[in-house]
Structure 1
Amino acid sequence: MIDLFISYMLLLLLLHSLSQPVRGVLIDCGSNFRSSINGQEWLPDTGYISTGTSKTITARGQSQILSTVRTFPLQGNLFRKFCYEIPVNRAQKYLIRTTYYYGGVNVNGNRNLNLNPPVFDQIIDGIFWGVVNTTEAYMKGNSSYYEAIFMPKGKNLSVCLAANAYTDSDPFISALEVVVLLDQVYNSTDFNHYALNLIARNSFGHDGPGIRYPDDRFNRYWEPFGQDTFPQLSSQNLSVSGIWNLPPQKVFQTRLARSQPEPLRLMWPPNPLPVVVPPYNYSIALYFADDQISRSPRTFDITINRVDFYNNLTLTPSGVVIFANEWPLAGTTDITLSPAPQSTAGPLVNAGEVFQVIPAGERTLVRDAIAMVSLRNSFRNPPIDWKGDPCLPSRYLWTGVTCSQGPRIRITILNLMSIGLEGSISPSIAKLTALTTILLGNNTLHGTIPDLSSLKELAILHLEDNLINGILPPSLGNLTKLREIFVQNNNLSGDIPKTLVQIPGLTLRYTPGNPSIIPPPS
């Protein structure tokens, strides 16, 4: 779907908004101190993550934020995710940016010469975001950043790193930004089912440093592009304000343009896109503004890879955006602006954005996810990857967790045998009503066995070799699918429920140990 969106806003209000700090959380990964840089407050990351190692690197010529990183151990953690969790408002959408500067952080003398940065995955709220590969930028002495727009699924937003099959040293991160976006920004996308992964955002004809905050109120990065191809300074008589997506006024100060009524051709975005069948869908927005209307209207047609994108576009000083929500692209992209027959002026373009559209509708059943958080909180030392979505992406399940597939993603197995767990078993485990197997044996769990009568699918319950006290709940006898209950070597007491003994085919082990338990009549 192609839409023409022209909106107006008082310039005074826009200028006032530019002076406001970015709304959101800016995290200096690996740092232990707050800092203020260019009018923005950066926070240490210790309040948002509980694992990994903070390290200092040499980042000559780079931002102060890049002088620290947090790394996550590769050994024993293939396909395990390490997650930051940031409190959010689930009714708002957010710009998420991760920044990486390697600085040789994994180089360890002669034993581990990882001169190149590792390649690894990044994940948001259980959705596979993409692969982090910073090698090319690092070899040029530059940092790398990745940006996406997501709607949170709950009260916390998780941003995770994870080693994949190609990761050869510890994953790392330098900075994480989670910025609140206004409702009218990127509001043509259904963020209940999709997310946007930034491919390119450029200010055309701009030849200076990238445009950022405070010019852009959301601290979006507008990189220079095409400064060697038909650049022009824009007219000083523009009155752009309140345009859709609220691009900064500075992007309208330069443009790529033809002085004569002839086609303007751009090979943009600058890098080829993946070639897959069927092709990925992309969200495209092109921004224009011109005062040529005072003399002769500047009118032209737009094609993308020779397919009509928009016809008879006439520019105005107040600005206009042409956008597509889902446009299939692959390989090199050819955008051509061709003047209309009646136009006496050549075409122009000021700026553009391209996002890959990512399906983002899947999630673990909310009740299960909430119950797992409560269970995690009842353990003193839960597995280090128990953050983010328990079941997604499917290659990155929480340690010891097995999930069902299909439209309702449920947790079906908990296997945490012999991992040194301490703490108690939260009653919330009873809300995991798809569980068939609970394996918590050979740990150091204490407290009582919660009421599990809601777990109608439960077949195997192993709690042996712990410090559990209290009684065997009589309600276990109502679980007719039970085939194994192992509770030996605990501190249980009281009678063995008769209803348990009556379940056909049940193997019940309560000795040795449990000296105060009363066996059923023989």
Structure 2
Amino acid sequence: MTSHSIFLNSRPPYAILSNPTISLSLPLFLPPPSPESSTTAMSAALFLLCLLSIPISAIANPAPPTDYLISCGSNNIVEEGGLKYIPDDAFITTGNKTTLTNSPDVWPRLRTLRFFPNADASKHCFSFPVIKEAKYLVKTIYFYGGFDGGKQPPVFDQIIDGTKFGIVNTTDDFAGGGSSYYEAVVVAHNKILSVCLARNQHTPTGTSPFISSIEVHHLLDSIYNSTNFKENLLVTVARNSFGSEADIVGFPDDPFNRYWQPMKGNNPAEESKSNATVSTFWNVPPEKVFASAAMASKGQNLTLNWPAFPLPSAHYYMMLYFQDTRAPSPDSWRVFDIYMNGWKFFQSLNISTAGQSVVGAPWPLSGQTEITMVPEKDSPVGPVISAGEVLQIVPLGGKTITRDVVALEEFRKGLNKVPEDWTGDPCLPKGNAWTGVSCSKKVPSRIVALNLTGFGMSGTLDPNIAHLTGLRHLLLGNNKLTGNVPDLGALKSLITLHLENNQFEGPIPSSLGDLPRLKEVNLQNNKLDGVIPETLSKKQGLDFRI
């Protein structure tokens, strides 16, 4: 994923944004482009192009926003750029907090961070209550500041729910005196949205994933609405206003605090003499991004090499914004065709002073991208372009089946000293399942084994454990569990049950003998009483120990 870097002692953290394998920074550094050409990608692609305009009434009454502005590691509310960032303690219970003592001139919310030294944990998750099926923009911000006494930031993964959406690599940004941010757009498929960090093969031994700030913004339904969010999320690659040398545009001009980076480029620029009607745009861009535009003279093509860096071969959401920069009049219109790497993106676009936008999604891109606007024959003026957004379309990694998640959450509530990584999705992404949890390979995932032997846990065995109907192995030996052994008769797939060396009391459930696949039961060294059910003592092929 592309990271965006932020200057440390000027405006609030503004930058340009990313794709899932590249961090976003100023300047932006990306990995080498895929050898697959954009022409090859295009030949197999399906895409959608729409001229975008919606009535004002469609966005006049959005649902109440549920936003979170978090200053990680802070003990106090931090005010910055008209926004208030709260401490992160309500959203995470793991990790350590620290204050950067050698960086007094950075923005307030970058002076603290939370880091995660436990290398045994598969991931470390922040949990945000959200509106199920609502759309959110998630922004993660990182400033290393040498918090651990090192000279180079660690590299690690970032995850939303069950999907890895980027590799955090802030090395170049930090060396250049900047911080980095990443941005994703996702629909919440549950009532909790988890934002997680995890070590990967590039994380040096002895280093810790860290984070400075998180923003979660509730978006209007219209924003990026041509995306299939049931199967994908979006990761921001670039968001620019063209022909501009002004400051980066963010909050309050953009109520969702999206960062619009100015890009002067080599084309002539012109200031707008009219106001765009931004409320009619699906993505509701800020009016300030229409203040100037890149342009070409009468009869000339307008060409942009944008984004200004090569892209990995993938499918992208591409939104372009246009406005006739002349004063409103009956002649305030322009007509031109748009080409993307030589392929027709839109034909005979007729723009006015009110403004228009054009979207292509999914659009295949690879390497350097060239956008060419060709004026209609005998057009009295040349093409113009005001702004653009590029976001990579990333397939979702799937989810754990809801009833398994609910059952495991109830099981966890009855325990003390559960593993540190028991937050977020229990099974996904693959390689980042909760400690002691094994899952099926198919998505949606089922929990097939729990092995928490010798974790020193105390508490009770919640009856909801019986709702994990895909469970094959339940291994809870050598802990300090008390209370009764619940009825496990619903676990028809259970093969192995180990509850030895605990403090369970009461009778042995007779339903255990009715489990058709059960081969091994160990209940030794507990305080169980009563008779052994005949269903167990006479069960053929059962290794039963008590």
TM over 0.5: yes
Q: Does 1:41 align with 2:84?
A: yes
Q: Which moved more, 1:286-295 or 1:68-77?
A: 286-295
Return the offset for 1:296.
5.9
Hey, what's the Cα distance between the residues in 1 that align with 2:278 and 2:198?
Answer: 43
How far apart, in 2, do the equivalents of 1:291 and 1:256 lie?
10
The offset of 1:70, in angstroms, is 0.2
Instruction: From 174, 179, 188, give the equivalent of 2:217.
Output: 179
Q: Is 1:250 matched up with 2:288? A: yes
Please state how far the C-alpha of 1:423 moved relative to its aligned partner. Answer: 1.4
Q: Distance in 1 between matches of 2:489 and 2:441?
A: 24
CA distance in 2, matches of 1:29, 1:473: 47
Shift of 1:311: 1.1
Structure 2 distance, partners of 1:375, 1:71, is 28
SS at match of 2:431: helix
Residue 393 of structure 2 corresponds to residue 393 of structure 1: no
Return the match for 1:86 from 120, 128, 145: 128
Matches within 5 A, 1:195-234: 195-234=233-272
**Residue aligning to 1:170:** 208
Residue from 143, 152, 173 that aligns with 1:101: 143
Aligned ranges 1:12-31 → 2 under 5 Å: 23-31=66-74
Q: Return the letter of the residue paired with 2:119.
A: Q
Partner secondary structure for residue 372 of structure 2 = strand
CA contact (8 A) 1:296 1:343 kept: no
| 2:364 matched residue in structure 1 | 328
**Partner of 1:3 in structure 2?**
50
- The one-letter amino acid paired with 1:76 is D
Residues 455-489 of structure 1: per-residue CA shift (max 9 Å, x gap): 00101000111111111111111112111111111
Are residues 1:311 and 2:347 paired?
yes
In 1, Cα distance between equivalents of 2:158 and 2:477:
33
Deviation at 1:491, TM superposition (A): 1.1
The residue type equivalent to 2:227 in the other structure is T
Q: In structure 2, the residue corresponding to 1:495 is in which secondary structure?
A: coil
Cα offset for 1:39?
2.7
Q: Aligned in 2, Cα 1:121/1:361: closer, same or farther, shift over 3 Å?
A: closer
Whole-Å separation in 2 of the counterparts to 1:186 and 1:259: 32
CA distance in 1, matches of 2:396, 2:277: 37
User: Aligned pair in 2 of structure 1 residues 115, 389: CA closer, same or farther (>3 Å)?
Assistant: same
Q: Does 1:490 align with 2:526?
A: yes
CA distance in 2, matches of 1:62, 1:294: 50
- 1:283 and 1:323 in contact (8 A); partners too: yes
- Other-structure match for 1:284: 318
Letter in 2 for 1:311: Q
Letter in 2 for 1:25: Y
2:228 aligns with: 190
Distance in 1 (alpha carbons) for counterparts of 2:439 and 2:380: 63
Change over 3 Å in CA distance of 1:126–1:163 after alignment to 2? same
1:412 and 2:448 aligned: yes
| Distance in structure 1 (CA, Å) of the matches to 2:75 and 2:509 | 47
Distance 1:431 1:356 in 2: 38
Aligned to 1:520: none
Deviation of the 1:329 alpha carbon? 0.8
Q: Which position in structure 2 is the counterpart of 1:111? A: none
> Which letter maps to 1:214?
P
Task: Kindly provide the CA deviation profile for residues 345-376 of structure 1, in whole angstroms up to 9, marking residues without a partner as x.
Answer: 11111111111111126211111111111112
Give CA-to-partner distance per residue, 1:5-57, whole Å, 9 cap, x none.
123438xx98x99xxx9750111101111233333221110000000000111
Distance 1:122 1:259 in 2: 45
Q: Supply the AA of the counterpart residue of 1:217.
A: P
The residue aligned with 1:64 is: 108
Structure-2 separation of matches of 1:483 and 1:415: 17
2:373 pairs with one of 332, 337, 342: 337
Q: Structure 2 matches for 1:343-422, cutoff 5 A?
A: 343-360=379-396, 362-422=398-458
- Tell me what 2:304 maps to: 266
How far, CA to CA, are the matches of 1:238 and 1:34 in structure 2? Answer: 36
Q: For 1:457 and 1:339, locate their aligned partners in 2 and report how far apart those are by CA, in whole Å.
A: 67
- Say if 1:296 and 1:183 are closer, same or farther in 2 by CA, change over 3 A: closer
Q: AA paired with 1:475?
A: S
User: Do 1:207 and 1:227's aligned partners in 2 also have CA atoms closer than 8 Å?
Assistant: no
Unaligned stretches of 5+ in structure 1?
A: 108-113, 511-522
Match in the other structure for 2:95: 52
SS of corresponding position for 1:218: coil
Q: Is the 8 A contact 2:278 2:284 kept in 1?
A: no
For normalisation by structure 2, the TM-score amounts to 0.87
Q: Which amino acid letter does the alignment assign opposite residue 117 of structure 2?
A: P
- Partners in 2 of 1:425 and 1:51 — Cα distance? 24
Q: Check 1:458–1:327 CA distance in 2 against 1; reply closer, same or farther (3 A cut).
A: same
Q: Which has the higher contact order (CA 8 A, sep 6+)?
A: 2
**Paired position in structure 2 for 1:517:** none
Tell me the distance in 2 between the aligned counterparts of 1:88 and 1:325: 27
Q: Is the 8 A contact 2:399 2:443 kept in 1?
A: no
Q: Which runs of 5+ in 2 are unaligned?
A: 1-47
Q: How far 1:153 moved relative to its partner?
A: 1.9
My pick for the range that moved more, 220-229 or 28-37, is 220-229
Distance apart, 1:394 and its partner CA:
0.8
2:146 is equivalent to residue 75 of structure 1: no
**TM-score under structure 1 length normalisation:** 0.91
SS in 1 for 2:466: helix
Q: 1:308 is paired with a residue of what secondary structure?
A: strand
| Secondary structure of the structure 1 residue equivalent to 2:132 | coil
Separation (CA, whole Å) in 1 of partners of 2:444 and 2:537:
34
Q: Label 1:271 to 1:135 Cα distance change in 2 as closer, same or farther (>3 A).
A: same
Of the three residues 152, 159, 162, the one matched with 2:188 is 152
